[in-house]
């Protein structure tokens, strides 16, 4: 049994499952903070009911997210000990800061918010929710800066046979990590918005609590429209940077084999990695790939043939992940723009409401395939250009990793079923109006 492959599968399973809950925490916290602020400013009890209803779903999601996230960091010691020994001085410091500041801050503030309804003033209580949203984003900063360093390592020196931190400032201002942070967090905002719109659509279709869910839908619609447009803008900036620092990933994203100027983009292709070509190319647009990568239609784009075979990522999976992510992101923009024109006639737009209800899973899928693109596209490197994944795994038996992989899948499946069951049941119940 291949220890490296099994370890990768285990970490992927744990991370992708955990990330079903993280983005909803980030997105929903901002929406709830806004709703509670509206209650404080207007005194309208419906906003208080909205805060408590969406807050209950937030708490269920947060609890499952915490439980599933605890095991992740342990895997750096159990499954990836060689990686930890080689780059732990850089990578470990970021995780330590996240745990000792952001996570504990967010958890403590959440306890204050839960038990502080009758002990804090309205303004103070609403402020706590804004601080929870801030702490969640702060936690994301440290995690994504750590991942950004793996994608584009900076601020280190090789000393004593390992990578040691040389410039903390360079690490936390790493352009790759900064762009990744804004891309991931704005995507989480889209997910939070579609979650609220989808559940609101369910109740509006049943003509339940119409005023409550119409207001909820409108708030989430504006948030979702702004966030989905921002995702597109920051995604373009991120793509340009990937072309500069990870040419192999960028070439795989576009299944681009020949280094050429005025490089075309293919809307769809089926890569043939063995023969280094595309079996099928559909919808080629000359020069567009050059423009997307360098904002210049005549720019040269590196092809996969000029990258050593042992440094190329899996092309088909990288290509399809990127296409699916972009298609879904475009769909989110179209749905929210259409919703803007329907916002005052939601109850009279059942087809649109049905689409929004069915769209709840789509941002989850978009985020997950985005991470597949980011991590698979980086292969064969665990730290790009510095350490290969094959050199990073722990010297353990494959049977041990297989056993823990199966245990993770079974445990996380149970936790996921319980978590989503509680969310669905409470979402269907609707609010208790104050």
Q: Which residues have a Cβ under 8 Å from the Cβ of 304 and sit 6 or more positions away?
A: 248, 251, 252, 256, 257, 276, 312, 315
Distances (CA, A) of 283 to 91, 117, 264, 268, 287: 42, 57, 10, 7, 13
Q: What is the pairing mode between strands 156-159 and 387-388?
A: unpaired
pLDDT at 190 over 90: yes
Q: Are 414 and 19 within 8 A, CB to CB?
A: no
pLDDT at 382 over 80: yes
Distances (CA, A) of 101 to 136, 240, 352, 408: 11, 33, 43, 27
pLDDT, average across residues 206-234: 93
Peptide bond into 38 cis (omega under 30): no
First to last CA, the chain: 59
Phi, psi of 432 (to 5 degrees): -100, 105
The answer as to whether 184 is a domain residue is yes
What pLDDT is attached to residue 277?
81
DSSP assignment string, 99-164? IIIIIHHHHHHHHHHHH-TTTS-HHHHHHHHHHHHHHHHHHHHHHHHHHHHHHS--SEEEETTEEE
The answer as to whether 185 is a domain residue is yes
Band of residue 208 on the pLDDT scale cut at 50, 70, 90: confident
The answer as to whether 348 is a domain residue is yes
Phi, psi of 196 (to 5 degrees): -65, -45
Question: Helices then strands (H, E): number in the chain?
Answer: 15, 8
Q: Are 257 and 278 within 8 A, CB to CB?
A: yes
What pLDDT is attached to residue 17?
85
The answer as to whether 172 is a domain residue is yes
Instruction: Tell me the pTM.
Output: 0.92
pLDDT, average across residues 26-52: 92
pLDDT at 254 over 80: yes
Buried b / exposed e across 325-356, counting CB within 10 Å, b at 16+?
bbebbebbbebbeebeebeeebeebeebbebb
Element (H, E) at 331: helix 315-342
Question: Whose CA is closest to 78, among 403, 418, 410?
Answer: 403
Distances (CA, A) of 355 to 198, 204, 335: 8, 13, 9
Band of residue 203 on the pLDDT scale cut at 50, 70, 90: very high
pLDDT at 67 over 90: no
Buried b / exposed e across 19-44, counting CB within 10 Å, b at 16+?
bbbbbbbbbbbbbbbbbbbbbbeeee
pLDDT, average across residues 116-138: 90
Residues of the chain above pLDDT 70, percent:
99
- Total count of domains within the chain: 1
Phi, psi of 261 (to 5 degrees): -85, 165
User: What is the Cα–Cα distance from 202 to 206, expressed in whole angstroms?
Assistant: 7
pLDDT, average across residues 237-251: 89
pLDDT at 434 over 60: no
Band of residue 433 on the pLDDT scale cut at 50, 70, 90: low
Question: Whose CA is closest to 364, among 59, 21, 60?
Answer: 21
The answer as to whether 272 is a domain residue is no
The answer as to whether 195 is a domain residue is yes
List the domain range (segments joined by +) for residue 100. Answer: 3-259+302-429
DSSP 380: T
Mean pLDDT for the chain overall: 88
User: What is the Cα–Cα distance from 137 to 189, expressed in whole angstroms?
Assistant: 11
The answer as to whether 297 is a domain residue is no
- Residue pLDDT, tens place only, 324-376: 999 999 999 999 999 999 888 888 888 999 999 999 999 999 999 999 999 99
The answer as to whether 83 is a domain residue is yes
Highest mean pLDDT out of 135-144, 306-315, 362-371, 405-414? 362-371
pLDDT at 73 over 80: no
Q: Are 146 and 176 within 8 A, CB to CB?
A: no
């Amino acid at each position: 049994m291949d220890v490296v492959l099994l370890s990768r599968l285990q970490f992927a399973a744990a991370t992708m499952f955990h990330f079903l809950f993280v983005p909803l925490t980030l997105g929903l916290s901002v929406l709830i903070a806004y709703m509670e602020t509206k209650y404080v400013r207007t005194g309208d009890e419906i906003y208080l009911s909205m805060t408590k209803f969406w807050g209950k779903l937030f708490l269920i999601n947060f609890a499952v997210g915490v439980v599933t996230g605890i095991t992740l960091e342990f895997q750096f010691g159990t499954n990836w000990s060689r990686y930890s020994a080689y780059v732990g001085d850089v990578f470990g410091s970021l995780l330590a800061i996240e745990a000792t500041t952001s996570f504990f801050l967010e958890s403590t503030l959440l306890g204050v918010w839960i038990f502080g309804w009758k002990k804090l003033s309205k303004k103070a209580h609403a402020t706590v929710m804004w601080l929870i949203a801030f702490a969640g984003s702060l936690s994301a900063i440290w995690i994504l800066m750590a991942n950004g360093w793996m994608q584009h390592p900076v601020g280190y020196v090789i000393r004593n046979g390992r990578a040691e931190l040389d410039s903390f400032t360079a690490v936390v201002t790493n352009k790759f990590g900064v762009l990744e942070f804004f891309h991931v967090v704005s995507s989480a905002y889209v997910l939070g918005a579609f979650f609220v719109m989808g559940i609101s659509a369910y109740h509006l279709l049943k003509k339940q609590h119409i005023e409550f869910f119409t207001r909820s839908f409108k708030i989430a619609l504006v948030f979702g429209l702004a966030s989905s447009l921002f995702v597109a803008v920051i995604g373009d900036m991120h793509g340009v940077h990937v072309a500069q620092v990870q040419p192999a990933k960028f070439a795989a994203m576009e299944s681009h084999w020949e280094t050429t100027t005025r490089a075309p983009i293919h809307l769809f292709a089926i890569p043939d990695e063995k023969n280094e070509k595309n079996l099928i190319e559909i919808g080629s647009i000359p020069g567009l790939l050059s423009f997307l990568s360098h904002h210049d239609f005549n720019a040269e784009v590196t092809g996969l043939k000029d990258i050593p075979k042992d440094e190329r990522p899996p092309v088909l999976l990288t290509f399809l992940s990127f296409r699916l992510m972009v298609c879904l992101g475009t769909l989110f923009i179209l749905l929210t723009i259409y919703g803007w024109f329907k916002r005052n006639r939601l109850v009279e737009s059942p087809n649109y409401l049905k689409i929004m209800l069915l769209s709840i899973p789509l941002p989850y899928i978009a985020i997950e395939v985005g991470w597949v693109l980011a991590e698979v596209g980086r292969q064969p490197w665990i730290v790009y250009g510095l350490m290969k994944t094959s050199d990073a795994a722990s010297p353990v038996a494959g049977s041990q990793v297989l056993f823990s992989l199966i245990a993770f899948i079974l445990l996380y499946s149970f936790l996921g079923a319980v978590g989503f069951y509680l969310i669905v049941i409470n979402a269907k119940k609707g609010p208790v109006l104050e």
